[in-house]
A and B are shown apart, each in its own frame.
Chain A
Amino acid sequence: QVQLQESGPGLVKPSETLSLTCAVSGYSISSGYYWGWIRQPPGKGLEWIGSIYHSGSTYYNPSLKSRVTISVDTSKNQFSLKLSSVTAADTAVYYCARSTRSDVDIWGQGTMVTVSS
C-alpha cells in the first residue's frame, strides 16, 4: 500500500522560504510516476504547484515557477518542496501527491502552512 506523508513547519514568516518534505512508503520513487505538490487555500479550490518525474525532470505552475523548487532524494525515498518569498497568499493546505502525466492517484493527508509574522 503506497502512502505519502508530508512534514515541515506549520508557520512561516513573510518573505521567508517554505520547506516541506514528503516521505513515500510502499513504492520506490525511482521506479516511476511523477511526484508533486498541490495546495488549497482555506475555503478555496485546488492549485497545482508542480511535479518532478522519477528521472528528475521538473514541471512547475507558470504562476509560481520563479519561486518554486521541487527535488527528489531517492536514497531516502522522499521528495521536497521549497517556495521562496512567501506572503499571506501562500497560506494553504499543502498536499504531496503521486501522479501520472495528468491525474493524481495517491494523495498525502495534507499539511496546513500559515504565513504570518
Chain B
Amino acid sequence: QSALTQPASVSGSPGQSITISCTGTSSDVGGYNYVSWYQQHPGKAPKLMIYDVSNRPSGVSNRFSGSKSGNTASLTISGLQAEDEADYYCSSYTSSSTLSVVFGGGTKLTVL
C-alpha cells in the first residue's frame, strides 16, 4: 500500500494560518471519512489532533481544524504559535489489499 502524499515542509509566522494537505485515493482518503491527523514533537510519541476528518479530541485547541474534498484531506492551523512547530502526519483507513491503515509521509511545520 502506498503512503498518502503530504508536502515535506510548510512554514508560517506567529498568528498566521497554514494548511497541510494529504492526498490519497478513492480506496482510502476519498472513500471513507476516517482521516486522522497527528502532531509529533522531536523525541515524543505522536498526539492525535483530528479524527474522522474534522473532529477534535477533548483537550485539542480549536485552532486545529480538518476537512476533506475528494481524495485530499487538509489540516488547518490558525493563529500559529511557536509550540505548533512539529511534524504532522495524516492517516486514513484503507480498503486496499486488507483492512489496514496508511500514513502520510509527514510534514515539518516551521514557525518563523
Contact = CB atoms under 8 A, between A and B. Distances in A.
Interface of A: 45-48, 50-51, 59-63, 65, 95, 99-105, 107-110
B112 interface: no
Interface residues of B, number: 28
A109 B46 CA distance: 9
B13 interface: no
A110 B46 CA distance: 10
Interface in B71-106: 89, 91-93, 97-106
22 contacts: A45-B3, A46-B106, A48-B102, A48-B103, A50-B100, A51-B101, A60-B98, A62-B1, A63-B1, A95-B45, A99-B101, A100-B51, A101-B34, A101-B93, A102-B34, A102-B93, A103-B48, A104-B36, A104-B46, A107-B46, A108-B45, A109-B45
A45 B36 CA distance: 15
Contacts of B51: 100, 102-103, 105
A47 B52 CA distance: 19
Nearest to A106: B48
Nearest to A108: B45
Given A45-B89, A102-B34, A102-B92, A59 B98 contact: yes
B100 A61 contact: yes
Given A46-B89, A103-B52, 12 more contacts: A46-B103, A51-B101, A59-B99, A60-B98, A100-B51, A101-B93, A103-B51, A104-B46, A107-B45, A107-B46, A107-B47, A109-B45
Contacts of B57: 105
Given A102-B91, A103-B36, A105-B57, A110 B100 contact: no
A103 B45 CA distance: 14
A108 B47 CA distance: 11
